[in-house]
Amino acid sequence: MSTTRPYSPGDRGPEPSGASGASAGRQVRRLSFDDASGVVPLARDFARQALYAWGWLPASGADQRAAAEDVLLVVSELVTNACLHAEGPDQLQLSCDNKVIRVEVSDRGTGQPAPRNPHRAGRPGGHGMFIVQRLCLDWGVVRTPDVAGKTVWAELGAPA
């Protein structure tokens, strides 16, 4: 389900530089990884705190718990990919409205993330983007002209 669109249908893309943390009911949290170590657990803890603040946790039922765990897994996969295939992540941005949570990981890498094809479930490695593709409503990559790196984004639906 990967896309070549830089944004999901109806989404106008990332907020312009200097924008406030929320607009039109959308809540936004950002984490900079400047000189941080242990970035994957740091990103998961940051995401978990956001999920608590936004009412996704503590989960009131199995569907809500599964949705929160999916968000944490996608955060882990995108940050891990930035560590393995780019020069590490620069920033994690999470945004949430009543229907969708958007995960964005920015890095300085030039590669293009894609699920390994064919996917081989029994082999180690190469599962990150396959997992993202399976769990998310949509995902993609945004590049800014004349700026090194990219932002990989993924969107997950809120539990019903």
- Show me where the domains of the chain are located: 30-108+126-157
pLDDT at 125: 67
Domain 30-108+126-157 has CATH 3.30.565.10: yes
pLDDT value of position 65: 94
* Amino acid code (one letter) for 25: G
* Per-residue pLDDT, 9: 44
| 109-130: burial string, b at 16+ Cβ within 10 Å, e else | beeebebeeeeeeeeeeebbbb
- Please list the rounded mean pLDDT of every run of 10 residues in the chain (160 residues): 44 42 77 94 98 93 94 97 94 94 96 72 74 95 92 92
Residue 119: the pLDDT is 57
**Residue-level pLDDT at 114:** 74
Measured torsion, CA atoms of residues 124, 89, 6, 154, in degrees rounded to the nearest 10: 60
